[in-house]
Amino acid sequence: MSWSAWRAEVLQDWDCNRGSTKSQVIMAAFRQAHRWQTPAPAGPVARVGVTAYKVLTTWLLGVELPPETVVGAELRLVHPQAIVVNGETRIGARCMLRASTTLGNVVGDDGVASASPALGDDVELGVGVIVIGPVAIGSGARVGAGAVVIRDVPPGAVAVGNPARVLAPKAKPADEAA
């Protein structure tokens, strides 16, 4: 990734997290650590930088967002505390994660880990949402607070509950419906 592309990503994250310095710091640090980590730490500076990122975000700021995670532009972290993301999770552009959100895989009785969740673009997760296993959450979907998602959520849908169930697709604006 070029310097200008990296800078543009950081500035987009900075802007969409305006009002939360903690979120801005986490995302700026994530983008740099991701750059160092992908495809693998290239040298001692990268290894030290990635380690420093993990200490800062996990130990001091309470957010586990591994640098190998694929994250689209403008990830918004609202009240970023106790957010845990598996490194194989894929997060689309303009998604929103709130406090106490977990995105992870499942380890079966045989010790084999499942795939991790994949979030489309413009997905919004409420406080305390748990998305577990090889689950796809479609673009534009919203998941209500405290939901436990173990099945796919279609694009534009609203899902709530434990286990999460789909209530209804999100209504399209009048100009799109025509």
Radius of gyration of the chain from its Cα atoms, rounded to whole angstroms: 17
List 79, 90, 165, 170, catalytic entry: 79
What residues form DSSP beta bridges with 83? 63
Q: What contacts 24+ positions apart, CB below 8 Å, involve 56-64?
A: 56/25, 56/29, 57/26, 57/29, 57/30, 61/22, 61/25, 61/26, 63/26
Q: Is 34 a catalytic residue?
A: no
Tokens of 61: 């700021």
Q: Indicate the residue type of 67.
A: P
Nearest to 14, CA basis, from 26, 32, 4: 26
DSSP-assigned letter for residue 153: B
Query: Catalytic site residues?
Result: 79
